[in-house]
Structure 1
Amino acid sequence: MSLTTSPAHQSTGDVAPPRRSASALRGVGLLVSVAVLVLLGLLSIWLGSKSIPFTATWSVLWDNDGSADAVVIHDYRIPRTLLAMLVGAALGLAGALMQALTRNPLADPGLLGITMGASTGVVAALAFVGVSSVLGYVWFAFAGAAVASLVVYALGSAGARTATPERLVIAGAAVTAVLFAVNSAVLLTDPGAFEEFRFWQVGSLAGRYYDVLVPVLPFIAAGIVVALLLMRQLNALAMGDELGRALGAHPDRIRVVGAVAITLLCGAATAAVGPIGFVGLAVPHVARFVAGPDQRWVLPYSLVLAPTLLVGADLVGRIIAPPSEVQVGIVTAAIGVPVFLALCRKRKLAAL
């Protein structure tokens, strides 16, 4: 009897402490990531194309005295920083959720046609309705993203009982191709709409303040809550549909709820600042490299690392060429792509 209980006891004693140690280490890493994000947020409020001394920035940050510096800090830099954090969190979490649902490490928020749907909404607002303000076409972009996601899911589940990841990806590619052709046809015949659209399409935080932040906040907040509630179920889904069902998961329900969360996150983020690539693709890989494949850690890490990347990219874009600035979508690609390629070359990308 001792021969059977002793190894089990020895195994428990050997395995449990490393697991607790690994969890503690991941927790510390997440706290450090949050601290870095906060530090970058404070730097984003302090630094910009207009030079404001640190002491003056700190003073008006807590006491809005109505001065010119206070207007820059409170009316421009704070809402812009908060929007960068919000959009970054939405894109990173949407990318991690999409890669987990499709079990495709190259999936990003544009894979299911959501980004192109938002673009189509903006094109329709500019060309047919005459809406040219950011606040005006935010709602068209969000509506376009929602409709595109519904069409993709309907096509992916047509003629079958379930919408498998493969069918959803194929349907998303087809919808994206069709919408791209429609957008190109409309914009080529309307030069005015094209001029407006090209500034939105590059992905920028310029000119987006509280009037854009407040409307998209509830949608992104709801998407974050829904996505985080799926963490444990995504781990079961990663083992395959049959084994997931044996563990008590409901793959179809998880995919539907996950698609809703992705639509809320990606649709609202894209509507607010335009399509920003790379964030939703690369950040989940970095999260898995740091925290492992457990979705209970991948999603929180993506939620923190993505806004860190976006806030840092926006900060760089504002200070490298004053008084003008480089759009955040361009800076994000310039900073992130080399790092992502380096990880690929070293074969350190964690598999799904």
Structure 2
Amino acid sequence: MSELDLLYTEIEEDLRSSVRDLLADRCELDAVTRIYDGDRSLVDGLWKSLVDIGLAGLLVPEDRGGQGASAREAAVVLEELGRTAAPVPFLTSSVIATTALLDSDTALLEQLATGERVAALAVPWSAAPDAQLPAVRLEGDRLTGTVTSVAGAIEADVLLVATGSGLYAVDVSAVTVKPLVCLDMTRQLADVTLDGATGALVLVDAEPAVRRALDAGAALMASEQLGLSRWCLETTVAYLQVRKQFGRVLGGFQALKHRLADLYTGVESGAAAARHAAATSAEGDPDATVAASIAQAYLSDLAVRAAEEAVQLHGGIGMTWEHPAHLYLKRAKSDQIALGTPGRHRVRLGALVDLRP
């Protein structure tokens, strides 16, 4: 097996530049903040812009209408989405749901690639890749059960529901979706109730596909957390270089230099972990599962620390509603318990590398 290259390629940097320019133009942080006041007008337009440049089908093979890219390119996109706390269903639909469908022959995959439809995997957002899957019953041709705290269900028009006999695509109009008031409203969760809903069977062996999708989500969410952490670090450094106190620039105080230096080394270490998770996932490397849990165990805590430092080191302004630091702290805290907590991934990692408690 060839040695993994963790450096960004020219194609990946070009992709980053395109996504960053689009987000700078279409995803103002003031508009993201208004989501907390109930104004979600940003979401649909921003998602359509991402669809128009082909991001919805990034992981879908070219012969099925997608871009035929890999987890490496998806990771670059997620870094940029993390930098802006973008409220779009890329991770839930274009990564997790799409990965679950890659081995199926359903036309739904092509529809996801073109952005014609948006999907969400009906599992709790807190579910780790090795967690017990929710119990949805199949009674005849009807699906019954409740799945709590599903990410992406509000934006989706089709849900992927796993039962003991397969993976079913269920139209959202056939279920009850109850939005929840969440800490992070840029990725709002919802409870989904199926009361005799019908669905189309898209995959007979559901569990391996669902666990593979959750693994891909965990691996690539680390890149979102990396982008978030970098924004917090860079924004805080820029602020401390101009803000003065007692006649001195705050960035000149040694105690603050130490805190920023510690955060910088943490972010660079996180970058290595996130890139390794993306690269192993892209290559189908045997260590991909280990890399995903390492990245999640590390970056989930790092993102929270970076966001907390951004709030604290901005002083009074960092505590205000007008400053965007709270968006990043909320996203970081939400991501910290998504797809498995850091503690859950450490326990999983111990079993994977045969380190018993």
TM-score normalised by length of structure 1: 0.30
The structure carrying a bigger strand percent of its residues is 2
Considering only CA atoms, is the larger Rg found in Structure 1 or Structure 2? Answer: 1
The structure carrying a bigger helix percent of its residues is 1
TM-score normalised by length of structure 2: 0.30
Structure showing greater relative contact order (alpha-carbon pairs closer than 8 Å, 6 or more residues apart): 1
